[in-house]
């Protein structure tokens, strides 16, 4: 558990805005948007928890990195988000409560889900 001041000290301003204030980076601007051909693992930028494997990443054309499956479902917390006049499912890191993005029911099989995740919320470890 970190204080707000500690999060501000260790995160970039954009990462702080997205992960701690539930913001969103601009579409098509994130460093991992077109990273699906590189093998590796995606970790939470705040606490280092493993969130996604690169073999589940796909190009959904939405402007953010998209994944069809979490590395471990217990590492992702789902919360109903009724902001902006719509109902969506927000996803957060279970370990540190960082806002990651949202999950939608329009992904590929076998899950049918699309995790739409902010690049700035992720740290990539190439294999």
Give the whole-angstrom CA distance, residue 75 versus residue 50.
8
Q: Which one is catalytic: 44, 46, 93, 116?
A: 116
* 116: annotated active-site residue: yes
Beta bridge partners of 90: 79, 102
Give the whole-angstrom CA distance, residue 57 versus residue 76.
16
Say which residues have a Cβ less than 8 Å from residue 15's Cβ, sequence separation at least 6. Answer: 45, 46, 120, 121
Say which residues have a Cβ less than 8 Å from residue 72's Cβ, sequence separation at least 6. Answer: 50
Residue in the structure block whose two tokens are 């204030």: 21
Q: Which residues are catalytic?
A: 116
């Amino acid at each position: 558990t970190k204080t707000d001041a500690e999060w501000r000290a260790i995160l970039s301003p954009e990462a702080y805005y997205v992960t701690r204030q539930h913001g969103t980076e601009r579409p098509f601007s994130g460093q991992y948007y077109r990273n699906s051909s590189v093998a590796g693992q995606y970790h939470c930028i705040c606490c280092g928890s493993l969130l996604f494997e690169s073999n589940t990443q796909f190009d959904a054309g939405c402007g953010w990195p998209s994944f069809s499956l979490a590395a471990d479902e217990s590492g992702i917390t789902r919360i109903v988000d009724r902001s902006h006049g719509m109902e969506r499912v927000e996803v957060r890191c279970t370990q540190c409560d960082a806002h990651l993005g949202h999950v939608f029911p329009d992904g590929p099989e076998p899950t049918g889900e699309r995790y739409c995740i902010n690049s700035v919320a992720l740290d990539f470890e190439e294999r």
